[in-house]
Structure 1
């Protein structure tokens, strides 16, 4: 998918600020390229900073990393359901319940990055299985509609 070809009807308006940051490349190329950049970035952070929170009840870097992993899993599942033309509306999710129950701060960085790499490789394999027609299939989640490759508000 080339992001400039993504129609405004395929995603929620707040996501445009994120989509504007994505280079115009096929989605799988972007997923593959960002995999190693992401891992390198987290490996560059000093160990003592990984469990630091700048304020009470704010996420640590490890919690943020696991949030990215959880969110990718959720969006991957949504993409699979939509790609298989499942028109059942999926519920949204509240990340504020996930993070306190994640035990992210009890894990070492290597295990978190190994999990991230596994999830990302699974996402790449899933999107490699989609053809152009599949990428345009619309599904329903959290009160919004989205295509396999994007998202839009009802």
Structure 2
């Protein structure tokens, strides 16, 4: 699915929703600018994939954007992986508001993604990251396990929270 964008503006904040694949064909970001006096929220809940050329295009674009605050919402696992792999993927002013964490049930084979939100499931206290893991149950009522290696998956929060 090609990358599609939708915009909304309210209260000096531009929200940009990215939907589809961020790849070499994703020219939708080319020429996109925001009011430098506004905040920018990037909602990534409908981003389904990202490849190396998409990473390069996104990186170039995001560093060219001037805004007051840059916040990311609903970051999917594919995006979190890139934040952890690519050094300097996002500008230092970036704030992560929410992201998805995959869970898995060995008993039923069920998978789900749970939204972690700043100040609820994660926050910085005295410069240290604190995580609050919600209990997630499968369809049989059995607790599910986080389906990532925590030390690696949550590493991006040290930079962007």
- In the superposition, the TM-score normalised over structure 2's length comes to 0.25
TM-score (norm 1): 0.26
Higher helix share: 1
